[in-house]
Amino acid sequence: MRHTISVLVENKFGVLARVSGMFSGRGFNIDSLNVAPTHDASLSRITAVLKGDETALDLCIKQLRKLVNVVEVVDFKEGQAVARELVLVKVRADAKTRSEIVQIADIFRAKIVNLAADNLIVELTGTDDKIAALLGLLEPFGILELARTGRLALKR
C-alpha cells in the first residue's frame, strides 16, 4: 500500500539521513522523497511516498515523532491532502511532430519551456495520474530525458 508522509523538521545537519534511515530500517521502499525549506527558514518539510504495511507504518510514525529535530509527522489518508508533482520531459520533436506535441501540452495545460531544432522540453505540474497520461501520449514521439520532483502534499 502507498502512503504519503509529511515530516516537518528543524533545518539541521543529518535530519534527512535519520528520517530516511527510519523508513528503510522499517522495510519501506521509498517511491519518492522531497525535501525543501518552508516559509520559516529554520524548518524544512520532508514529503515521502512509501510502500509498506499499515502496522509497520504506525510504528514508524511513532518512532519518527521521537526523533530529535522532528517537529510534526502527518500520514495523509486518501483525500486528506492536496498533492502535486512537477515533471520536465525532453521530447524528440521535428518540424512534422512539433505542432502535435504542442497541442498535447496545451490540453494538459503544460508549458513548453525550451525549444530546440530537434526537441522540446515540456513542464507539467499535476497529480500522478495526469503526469502518467501526458507521458503516455508523449512516449510515441520519443522521450529523450525526464526529471520528476516526486509528490508534494499539504493537508486540506
pLDDT tens column, 33-45: 999 999 999 999 9
Contacts of 47 (CB under 8 A, 6+ apart): 4, 5, 6, 7, 32, 33, 34, 35, 150, 151, 152, 153
- CATH T-level topology, domain 2-76: Alpha-Beta Plaits (3.30.70)
pLDDT at 58: 86
Which residues does residue 34 pair with via DSSP β-bridges, in sequence order?
47
In angstroms, what CA-CA distances link 5 with 50, 82, 117? 8, 13, 42
Check whether 84 has a pLDDT greater than 80: yes
Radius of gyration of the chain (CA): 18
User: Where in the chain are the domains?
Assistant: 2-76, 82-155
Q: What is the pLDDT of residues 34-81, one digit of tens each?
A: 999 999 999 999 999 888 788 878 888 888 999 989 999 999 888 888
Beta strand spans in the chain (E):
2-10, 29-37, 43-51, 70-76, 81-92, 111-115, 119-126, 143-148, 152-155
Q: Do the two domains 2-76 and 82-155 of this chain adopt the same fold?
A: yes
- CATH T-level topology, domain 82-155: Alpha-Beta Plaits (3.30.70)
Q: What is the pLDDT of residues 130-156, one digit of tens each?
A: 999 999 999 999 999 999 998 999 888
pLDDT at 152: 92
